Amino acid sequence: MTGLTHVIVEADGGSRGNPGPAAYGALVRDPATGEVVAQDGKTLGIATNNVAEYSGLVAGLQLAEEYAPDASIEVRMDSKLVVEQMAGRWKIKHPDLQPLAIKAQGLAPFGTEWTWVPRAQNSAADALANMALDGVPIPLKPEAPGSGPAVTKEPSDLRKALQGWGPQAEPPTQLIFLRHGETPHTAEKRFSGSGGDNPGLSETGRLQAQAAAEYLSRIGGVDALVTSPMVRTRQTAEVVAVKLGLDAVVDDGWREVAFGDWDGHTFAEIQQKWPDAMNAWLESTAVAPPGGESFDSCARRARSARDGILARYPGKTVVVVTHVTPIKLMVRSVLQAPMSSLFRMELRPATLTEIHWYADGLASLRSFNTDPLRPKI
């Protein structure tokens, strides 16, 4: 047990023959110090490269579960196939990979980040796999400098943050999240998720959307516009689209979390009618309202929607018209804050939150809850 709150899992695998003699290598790294917490490498007999890579992933997640059980995880692999399949963007069709993928999914905690890296940045895991194939004993940890495969020390969290201020080889993908304008439910502070009444904008909401569109027009440089399919977001996006001369692309991944039976009710009404369910919901983001969706589930689809934008619009500026919960989940992810932080953020209608994602996987929060109708003091 290490007490770490965040770790990096690096994994690789290979086959000399494909299929042929195969092995995997995996390690768990403390991102603050670069120290290898634990490592492993084993032969698999005759297998394909893909089976070996998945086996390395499973081994790395098992090491993280044993040596950093309470930590959040970022997985780094040079296998595009494994990363895309585990992130949910590619289907897993090969029967030999499906059981391994299911096992990996069961080991990966909620919020696991899946990052593809060039082969040169995955040399430590690759070296472990080759050591196993060559019959070299692998210690649980490198015993001294030079005793294990070469590793690259990870920068501290502070240095990572500062990297966003320095020169970058590639421009970041800039996501500007715009919360929809006010609806009748917004004004009355009623729960309003997907699957409920799906209200449209009020007159105030339309004025707010117009102000946001004017603001985005002034700052300029927007390359694409994406919107949740719900009425209030599509109406907000229509105003922005006209002002920016862009077509809005609808993406279901950005819809609001579903509140089920609670939809249309106020917090006080829910506390009175569903007190036990409300308490359970407040205590765990894995708990869904009756007939609704958990924050954990919403986070998974929002993360997939984000990854889709990063893949389609690398280095571009994209406005995403969405809702309170997806925006808070994006902010929480970038700040690596606990899920309980969702209850400590407040987003006004038609406000803007900007996050930059860099090609190396780093991200930075540039602004939060910017209100075009409230001039800066």
Closest to 81 in 3D by CA, of 122, 121, 53, 41: 53
Residue 112 in 3-state DSSP?
Answer: coil
Active-site annotation holder among 53, 182, 256, 293 = 256
Dist. CA 368–CA 148, nearest whole Å: 44
Pair type for strands 6-15 and 113-116: unpaired
DSSP symbol at 106: H
Active-site annotation holder among 74, 113, 180, 238: 180
* 289/158 Cα distance (integer angstroms): 38
Q: Which two tokens stand for residue 188?
A: 């009355």
Query: What's the gap between Cα 142 and its chain centre?
Result: 31
Phi, psi for 182 (deg, rounded to 5):
-65, 145
Cβ atoms of 37 and 5 within 8 Å: the answer is no
Q: Rounded CA gap, 89 and 76, in Å?
A: 16
Six token digits for residue 207? 């004025």
Q: Which two tokens stand for residue 27?
A: 């390690």
Could you confirm whether 256 is annotated as catalytic? yes
Cis peptide before 149 (omega within 30 of 0): no
| Alpha-carbon span 34 to 45, nearest angstrom | 31
Which of 354, 332, 352, 353 is closest to 344 using CA atoms? 332
- Say how far apart CA 49 and CA 32 lie, in whole Å: 31
- Whether 265 is catalytic is no
Token pair in block for residue 309: 């934008």
H or E element, residue 302: helix 295-312
**Mutual angle of helices 231-244 and 203-219, in 10-degree steps:** 40
Identify which of 212, 216, 194, 164 has the alpha carbon closest to the alpha carbon of residue 334: 164
Q: How far apart (Å, rounded) are the C-alpha atoms in residues 84 and 70?
A: 25
Residues labelled catalytic: 180, 256
